[in-house]
């Protein structure tokens, strides 16, 4: 086991435990904080793959902005343990079984995908994730999808303003 493997297993364990705690904790504020932990672990994985830009953007956008808005909503609506809706045991069981089936299908699909057969992740190598190379790729090879997605964001923003506008 070298350092990278140790880090990989540590981050994977951290991500899984935090993700479980998101679901298991009764208090919504705790769930949000565990979710921030998941984002940190995933950013760690990105850094192991030498994708520094996406690692840090993941933190800025998800941990730094979106989760803060989640916290805002939870704190302003004063959600806590008592307001958490209690589902009955059959609902929980049905949910667990269907989610388990979905997980099984997903894993078997990924294991059998011909694109992924006999491929290993490049640790610490590969420089497409560095910001200069990524920017050049986005604005040359992938410029059309990139610009289209920016239109998507613009329309989402306009939509939010229209909904939020008082009339």
Partner 1 sequence: MLLSIDWILFLEKLILIAIVIFASLGIALYTTFAERKVAAVLQDRPGPNRAGPFGLFQPFADGLKLIMKEEIIPNTSNKVLFILGPFLAMTAALMTSAVIPWSSDVHLFGRVIPLQIADVNIGILYIFAVVSLGVYGIMIGGWASNNKFSLMAALRGASQAISYELAMGLSLIALLMTTGTLQLGEIVKQQMQPGHWWNIVYQPLGFLIFIICAFAECNRTPFDLPEAENELNFGYHQEYSSMKLGFYSFSEYVNMFISSVVMATLYFGGYDVPFLNESLLSPNVAAIVGVIALLIKVVIFIFIFMWVRWTIPRFRYDQLMNLGWKSLVPLALANMLITGALILWLGK
User: Are 129 and 52 spatial neighbours (Cβ–Cβ below 8 Å)?
Assistant: yes
Range in contact with partner 1 (rule: CB under 8 A) among 71-79, 86-94, 111-119, 148-156: 71-79
Range in contact with partner 1 (rule: CB under 8 A) among 30-38, 107-115, 118-126, 141-149: 30-38
* Smaller CB separation from partner 1, 15 or 36: 36
Burial of 42 (0-12, 13-18, 19+ CB in 10 A): buried
User: Total residues contacting partner 1 (rule CB under 8 A)?
Assistant: 24
* Smaller CB separation from partner 1, 133 or 149: 133
CA dist., res. 122 & res. 57, Å (int): 20
Task: Kindly identify the residues of this chain, within the stretch 75-104, that bind partner 1 according to CB under 8 A.
Answer: 75-76
CA dist., res. 84 & res. 79, Å (int): 7
| Min CB(41)–partner 1 separation in Å | 15
Does the protein bind partner 1 through residue 137 (CB under 8 A)? no
Does the protein bind partner 1 through residue 3 (CB under 8 A)? yes
Does the protein bind partner 1 through residue 60 (CB under 8 A)? yes
Burial of 19 (0-12, 13-18, 19+ CB in 10 A): middle
Listed residue (46, 44, 40, 45) closest to 18, CA to CA: 40
Q: Give the interface with partner 1 as residue ranges (CB under 8 A).
A: 1-3, 27, 29-30, 33, 36, 52-53, 56-57, 59-60, 63-65, 68, 71-72, 75-76, 130-131
């Amino acid at each position: 086991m070298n350092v990278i493997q140790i880090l990989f297993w540590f981050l994977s364990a951290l991500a899984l435990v935090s993700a479980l705690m998101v679901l298991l904790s009764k208090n919504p504020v705790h769930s949000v904080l565990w979710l921030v932990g998941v984002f940190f672990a995933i950013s760690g994985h990105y850094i192991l793959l030498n994708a520094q830009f996406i690692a840090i953007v993941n933190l800025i956008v998800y941990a730094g902005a979106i989760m803060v808005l989640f916290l805002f909503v939870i704190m302003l609506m004063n959600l806590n343990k008592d307001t958490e809706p209690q589902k009955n045991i059959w609902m929980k069981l049905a949910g667990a079984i269907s989610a388990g089936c979905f997980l099984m299908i997903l894993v078997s699909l990924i294991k059998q995908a011909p694109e992924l057969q006999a491929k290993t992740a490049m640790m610490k190598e590969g420089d497409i994730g560095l910001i200069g190379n990524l920017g050049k790729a986005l604005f040359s090879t992938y410029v059309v999808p990139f610009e289209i997605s920016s239109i998507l964001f613009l329309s989402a923003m306009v939509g939010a303003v229209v909904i939020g506008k008082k009339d």
